[in-house]
Amino acid sequence: MKFIIEHLTKHFGKKQVLQDIDFIFEEGKIYGLLGRNGAGKTTLFNCINRDIETDSGSFCLDINGQRRELVPEDVGYVLSAPVVPEFLTGREFLKFFIDINESSIENPRSLDEYFESVSIAREDRDKLLKDYSHGMKNKMQMLVSMIAKPNILLLDEPLTSLDVVVAEEMKALLRSLKDGRITIFSTHIMDLALDLCDEIVLLSHGELEIVEKSSMDGHEFKDRIIAALREERHE
């Protein structure tokens, strides 16, 4: 499976944020979308998720050589600030999500098995989500994405504000989910992208560019990224 972006552009007033982007993402990889704050990473995600209108461009999936248009069910989106129904308990939210998606969930498991998979403690499963920590809310977002199994998983800075233990748990979970889907992980933290991701994609000057690691050592690779980001800053 491939996710194909063709001729994507987006302006806000006179500012061009995304500039005629053509790009192909491949199944089974975690892509690190790296760019400065304000480079357009969230804008790109919002365009893919149809939360905002594009000025031009198209999105499609190529499955075994057959192309089709991207549909909402193809995309899972985990926000940096987790959005969960805080008036429900963790168990109520999970049960509700499974009930409304019952027809599309393959090999459903028990609620407690799902909670175990993301290390939500037993004593927390019947608490209101409003009493969950930031990291626990983020885990619940990841959990429903894991259950839904979207073809494309968009992750907008989901680990930035987590403590070390929870961040490592989330990274392990993301690695376990990458087979059979395309994962795009947005961050402005280079070391995090290098640690987690299979490919690094630089968003700079409104365009996407793969930064090849194979021909560079670690320091040269980092220097290449920093140089590109500094060039954008000074334009």
Given a contact cutoff of 8 angstroms between Cβ atoms, the answer to whether 91 and 140 are in contact is no
Structure confidence at residue 225 (pLDDT): 67
Strands in 30-34's sheet, in edge-to-edge order, are 75-78, 152-156, 182-187, 30-34, 199-204, 207-210
Using CA of residue 185, residue 187, residue 192, residue 195, what is the dihedral sign? positive
Reported pTM: 0.86
The pLDDT value recorded for residue 135 is 84
Closest CA to 112 of 158, 148, 143, 145: 143
Sign of CA pseudo-dihedral 176, 178, 180, 183: positive
- Reported as a single tens digit per residue, the pLDDT across 22-53 is 999 999 999 999 888 788 999 999 999 999 99
Taking the C-alpha atoms of residue 18 and residue 53, their distance in angstroms, rounded to an integer, is 12
Distance of CA 207 to the CA centre of its chain: 18
> Could you read off the pLDDT of 120-173 as tens digits, one per residue?
999 999 999 999 998 889 889 888 988 888 999 999 987 766 678 877 888 888
What is each CA distance from 60 to 64, 151, 152, in whole angstroms?
13, 11, 11
pLDDT, one tens digit per residue, over 54-105 is: 999 999 999 999 999 999 999 999 887 888 999 999 999 999 999 998 888 8
- The CA distance from 204 to 187, in Å, is 13
